[in-house]
Each structure stands twice: as structure tokens, then as C-alpha cells.
Structure 1
Amino acid sequence: MIQELLAYFNPFDYLVIWLFAAFAIALFVSLNTFPAIFMISVKKQLMDEPGSRSAHSKRTPTLGGIAIFMSLVVVITTMGGFLDTKVLLLLLGGMTILFFLGLKDDLLVLSPRKKFLGQLMAALVLIIFTDTRIIGFSGIFGITTMPYWVSVIFTLFVYILIINAYNLIDGIDGLAGSLALFACVAFTYVFLITEEVSLATISVATIGSLIPFLKLNFAKKRKIFMGDTGSMIIGFLLSFFVVRFISEAQTYQTSVFYNSAPVLALSIVFFPLLDTLRIFFIRVVIHKKSPFAADQNHLHHNLLKLGYSHKQITAWVVIINMILFVLALLFKDFEIHLQFVLLLSIGTILYSAVFIYHWMLTQKSKSKIAEHTR
């Protein structure tokens, strides 16, 4: 009787209960894993030492990514049997590769080359065995369909870019975690519209795993960081969501997002990509050094220098990214190039607004000083 019930059970028939169960399981596992991680980190002195680039002054545990990974593993293994098992198992395999690479990097030090190879391997597993790849640009730059190997290489580039973008923005309290939380909410919405129950389930589970982390990441006492373990897993998940969403939308012309998927996906991960491309430009073109050389030129570093707190910066960034996502939804029936230009223009203006405001204040102050000295 139980086997018959399981054979005919369809999560879509009980969607609200199903998604709540995924959220609750991930939340429960995460809540009960963090205390153990914190205790072991303190006892074994597995802590991040503040350096010249650090935005923190105290030694802090960096293994928060373990709880996020464990939460997702439990959800996939307990609920995955009713979903797209092949995709979820391959997703879990890729996450596991990055989990151990990130863990080694958090505990010891891992060379950028080994991290890069691990990211390539994790991404290739999903691209090749599920054939989930970005087929084209929906007409942007006149490109609708790319040759198979060009599609695979470009999709690999998207994975590497997003994974490392999330790793690079993890520099102040709550920023990477809050942006990931917002991205998962956004992807849950689009996956429910496109009836991708498997990915909506993982997206909701990720939300459940992130809430306890953010509480500790923002805390003054018993603070914890997600480390490379967490940022690589989150970046990998979100890059898969981006690729899957665009791939499915481009495959079916009846899709609600057939003419807007690339722009809508870009709106969800706009800030990490903007900051990463900006920082690479500054390092390579202006300072003539390696794009991977560490510095304090990130947008969040510049905002810290202007006197904003970690919470203020995080709130400002996430709110703007939410606005861009809503605008992208409103623009989705516009011509694709117009959507693209509007998103880039509005996004750049909104993220530059605070710097323009402070520049104007500085110029006003200088003019007043000049008047008094005459």
C-alpha cells in the first residue's frame, strides 16, 4: 500500500505543503548543525585571522558552509526520490566536489588553479550529463542559437563567473548570504511559474539553510562566516539555476520567459557580476596586475570607507537588486535589446547613486571652503 502511494504521489498536487516541508527540513538541519560547527571551530582554533584587507577585527569561525551543505544534502536525499532524481544527484555530486575543495581552502590553503579545475569539473558534470546549457542569447547581439561546443564553453564561463563572483562579494557581514537569499526567492518564483518543482524545492531549501546562517553572520557574539565552502556551493547552485532557467525558457517557445530569460536571470545576479567585472577592469586595465590579486576596491569596501555599516550596505545592495528584478519582470515583453539596455542602465545608475551623492556633497563642501577663503 505504501509503495502504491509513493508511486502515484505527485509533489505538484500538494505544492505548498511540499515546499514548506523542504524549507522546514533545511531550517531544522541548519539550526542544529551551526552550534556544533561553532564549538568545534573554537575548540580546534579553526578561525579566520583578521588581516589588512579584512573588514573584521576579531578571529571568527569560517565553516558556516558546512551547515548549508548538510541542509541541502538532507533535503535532496529525503525528498529527491519524488523529483528529477538524475538532475538532483548530479547537482549533489557537483556540490560535493566544491564542498571538499572549499573545506580544504578554509582549513588550509588551496591554490587558485585547483579551485578552478574543481569548478570546471563540477560544472561539466551537469552540462554534459543533463545537457543543461545556454543555447543562445534570445536574439541579443543577433545570437539565437550557438553551436554545441560554443554553447558548452560559454555555459562553463557562466558557471565560473558566477561561482567566483559570489566568492568575491563575501567580504562583509550578510552581503553574500542576503543576496543568495534574495536570488533563491526570485528563482523560486520563476521556477514555480515554469513548473520546475525540483529546482523550486532546492531553492526553497537553500532559503531555509541560509536563515540561521544570516542570524549568526550578523551577530556581534558567536559570529560565523560561510567561508569558501559556503560561497562556492551557493555560487554553484545559483549558476545552475541561471543556466537551467535560461536553457528551459529557450527550449520551449511557449515559455512565459522565452523572450526575456537572459535579461531576467541577469537581473537576479546583477550585483555580484557588476562588482566582479568592475574589479577585474580596475585590476587589469588601471593597476596592470592580476585580476585575482586581492585588494580593497570592491563596492562594499568603498561604501565602508564612506562610513556605512555592514547592515546598511547589505540592505542597500539587496533592495536595489530586488528593484532590478521587479523591473525586469515588468519589461519582459519589451524587445530584448531594450530590456538589456534598460537593465544595464538602471542598474548602473542605482548602484552608482550613493557615490554620486557623496561626490556632490564633497564638491559642495569644497566650494563653500573656497568662498570662505576669498
Structure 2
Amino acid sequence: MNILDQQIILEFFRANYELFMACVFLGTFAVTFYLIPKVLWVSKERNLMASVNERSAHSTAIPSFGGVAFYITLILVLSILQSMRLTFVGNHLIAAITILFMVGLKDDLVISTAKVKLVGQITAALFVIFSPELDLTNLYGFLGIHEIHPLIGIFLKGFFVIALINAYNLIDGIDGLGAITGIIISGVYAWVFYGTGQPYYVLVSLSVAGVLTAFLRYNFGRRKKMFMGDSGSLIIGLLLAFLSIRHLVMEPNVPLMTQGYDPGNRLLFLGCVLFIPVFDTLRVIIIRKINGTSPFSADRNHAHHVLLDLGLSHFKASACFGLLNLLIISIYLYFSNKLDQLWLLFLVVFMYAAAFLLFAKLKAIGRAKASSAHASVGSDVAEEVKV
């Protein structure tokens, strides 16, 4: 493709920007919706099913290769966008996604060690954090911090990418939760980047939303049911981290959401947009430390387990988390132009603390309910013995 052809395509793109947005969302939805049944058929033919254990939220073996459809669709879209030369960051993103897809697919097939997964995540993160368009050298006044050393920025970005990849992977424990959370986060980012005139990032956000929306049909399905698996959750987590960092490094003179928005509050905004994965990860780590177990040990202390133990279905539990995330974002946006930074920080901390207390109370209710049910069963057995 020569320079003239690229200019013609770019002019057509700019003249039909909203049409491209709709096409990207519907296109990624359609391709993913078409591919998942094919992947499902191959998985069943080759008996590639997710095993059931004591921590599983499902009782039957289900294929966990939704990430294969994710990867094909996202690479196709990113390659097309890259041919338009909207940005040079696309090459880095394609490489990072490919690495994590390979790591996740291996784990879905034969189970990878934590060390192998961490090395893969670090390697993928390097492609993102060293991208010139994602340089982090200023926090724009967050807690009084402005310019920071580039090495500190690299460390913060690397920690952020790896932490969010794993946080998103952790919440993918029940049907719909990972997808609904990803749709909300990517949808908010699409709105932000649209309002700030960043078309490439709008289209990437819509691609993630389109893929996950199509996946919901099969994640909640009964006969045709699919999990995204590590191959899916790792690359979606990477993309959400990529979009989050892009939001963080935007120029301060770019208008965002509401007039008077302070760029120094971006970390607080991210804390609300990413509330579900961040809250659940912090909660699990704190509980495990209190119990004296490793923060990396597996258990049933996730927030979604609390709702399941209360008797909620997967759909209702996932919907509750989605509504909670939207509520947190809405509260922040309402007060973002009314409070100064310290009060906003207090508000965000208060919302996290309130969520911790709420789920502690719900867990206690769930335990009491389980104890009552166990006592009732014991009483029935005793009566039968008497008879």
C-alpha cells in the first residue's frame, strides 16, 4: 500500500468515523460469534475439557478455549487497523497478545507452572511498557507528584500490567463475570477515548467489547457452553491494562469527560473503572494473609463465591458485580467535578472500604445459612435413625 492509498483510506476513515466504530463492534461480535462454535466442536471432538475440582463453580466438564476465538478476532482487527497506520503501537500490542495467548493456551491444555506464566507475562508486558506512545513521566499532581523519573514510570507500568492481567484472570471464576466486567471497562474507555479524539484506542476498546459481548451467549449457554480459559482472560487483561495506561499518560490539556477534570485524578478514576478486579484481588490477598496462607494459594474466598454461597445464580451474581461497578463509576463521575483531590481520594477509599464490609457481612450470612442447612440435615438424619 503506497502513501497515496493510505491517505485516501485515512480521509475516508475520518469522514466516516462513527460508521467505522459500529463496523468494528459488530464485526468483532460477528466473527467471535461464528468462531466459538467451531472451537467448541473441536474441543469436544478431542475431549479437551476443563476438569472439575472442589473449587469449581461448575459441576460438569466444559471446554475452556474461548481465547482461541478471541485471539483470531483481535489479531485480525489489529492487523487491519495497523495497515491504516493510525498508530505504531499496534505492532507491540500484536506481539504482546501473541505471547500471552501461547502461555494461556499451554495452561489450558496441560497446566503451566506459575513461573512459566510469570515469565510470559513479563515478556508481554515489555512490549507494552516500552512503547513510545505509553511513556509515563508525569502524574500531573497526584498526591503532589508531578514529573517522575522514566525508570520509575517503567516500573509502575510493568507492575500495573502484570497486576491487572492476574487480577482479571482471578475474577474469571463464574459464568459471565469476566465478560461483563470487561465489557463495562472497555465501554467506559471507548467513551473516554471518543471524547478525547483518539480513534485508534476507541476501536481497540470496541473490539474488546464486541468480542466479550459475543462470548456471553456461549458462556451462559447450556448445551453450547464455553469458558474463555487462561488463553482468553490473559489477553483481555493485557488489553484492559494497555487501555488503562494509555488513559493515564494522556496529555493534560486533553479535555476529558467533564469540564474542569483534573488530570491528577486519573489514578482515582482508574481505581473506580477497574473496581471489580482490583477489589476482589485485594480482598483475597488480605483474607489469605489473615488466615496465614500464601497470597497465591487457591481457595473459595473470592467475592463471587460469597454471592454463590448465598444462593445466587451465576447470571445474578455477575449482574450484581456489573451493577456495582457501574455504581462506583457513576458516583465518582458525579463528584469528580465537585470535590478536590483529597476528598476524591477519601471517597474512593471509602467505597472500597464499604465494599469490604459489605462482603464480610454477606460472607457471615452465607456461613450462617450453610450451618443452618447442615444442622437441618443432621436433624433429619437423626430422626431417620430413631425411626
SS of the residue corresponding to residue 7 of structure 1 reads: helix
Contact 1:139–1:336 under 8 Å retained in 2: no
For residues 148-178 of structure 1, give each alpha carbon's deviation from its aligned partner in whole angstroms, at most 9, with x where no partner exists: 1111111111111100001001110100111
What amino acid maps onto 1:7 in structure 2? Q
What amino acid maps onto 2:345 in structure 1? F
Question: Which of 79, 90, 93 is the aligned partner of 1:77?
Answer: 79
Residue 366 of structure 1: aligned partner: none
Residue 273 of structure 1: aligned partner: 278
Question: Which of 270, 282, 298 is the aligned partner of 2:302?
Answer: 298
What amino acid maps onto 2:235 in structure 1? I
**Against the structure 1 CA distance between its residues 123 and 361, is the aligned structure 2 distance closer, same or farther, given a 3 Å change threshold?**
closer
How far off is 1:123 after superposition?
1.2
What amino acid maps onto 2:252 in structure 1? Y
Contact 1:138–1:336 under 8 Å retained in 2: no
* Cα-Cα RMSD: 2.3
**Against the structure 1 CA distance between its residues 116 and 138, is the aligned structure 2 distance closer, same or farther, given a 3 Å change threshold?**
same
**Against the structure 1 CA distance between its residues 304 and 136, is the aligned structure 2 distance closer, same or farther, given a 3 Å change threshold?**
farther
Residue 252 of structure 2: aligned partner: 252
Q: Is 1:349 matched with 2:360?
A: no
SS of the residue corresponding to residue 88 of structure 2 reads: helix
Contact 2:171–2:277 under 8 Å retained in 1: yes
Q: Is 1:115 matched with 2:120?
A: no
What amino acid maps onto 1:95 in structure 2? I
Residue 369 of structure 1: aligned partner: none
Contact 2:136–2:150 under 8 Å retained in 1: no
**Against the structure 1 CA distance between its residues 286 and 359, is the aligned structure 2 distance closer, same or farther, given a 3 Å change threshold?**
closer
Give unpaired runs (5+ residues) of structure 2.
Answer: 369-387
What amino acid maps onto 2:156 in structure 1? F
User: What TM-score do the two structures reach when normalised by structure 1?
Assistant: 0.90
SS of the residue corresponding to residue 144 of structure 1 reads: strand
Q: Distance in 2 between matches of 1:16 and 1:351?
A: 40
How far off is 1:91 after superposition?
0.7
**Against the structure 1 CA distance between its residues 311 and 24, is the aligned structure 2 distance closer, same or farther, given a 3 Å change threshold?**
same
For residues 323-372 of structure 1, give each alpha carbon's deviation from its aligned partner in whole angstroms, at most 9, with x where no partner exists: 11122222223322221221221244256446547868999xxxxxxxxx
| 347-356 or 303-312, which deviates more | 347-356
What amino acid maps onto 2:127 in structure 1? V
What amino acid maps onto 2:326 in structure 1? M
Q: Distance in 2 between matches of 1:129 and 1:359?
A: 46
Q: Distance in 1 between matches of 2:327 and 2:119?
A: 35
Q: Distance in 2 between matches of 1:167 and 1:360?
A: 27
Question: Which of 153, 169, 173 is the aligned partner of 1:167?
Answer: 169
- Identity percentage of aligned residues: 30
How far off is 1:49 after superposition?
1.1
Q: How many residues of Structure 1 are paired with residues of Structure 2 in the alignment?
A: 361
User: What TM-score do the two structures reach when normalised by structure 2?
Assistant: 0.87
Q: Distance in 2 between matches of 1:291 and 1:357?
A: 22
Give unpaired runs (5+ residues) of structure 1.
Answer: 364-374
Contact 2:265–2:341 under 8 Å retained in 1: yes
SS of the residue corresponding to residue 292 of structure 2 reads: coil
| 131-140 or 297-306, which deviates more | 131-140
SS of the residue corresponding to residue 131 of structure 2 reads: helix
How far off is 1:7 after superposition?
1.1
Contact 1:83–1:197 under 8 Å retained in 2: no
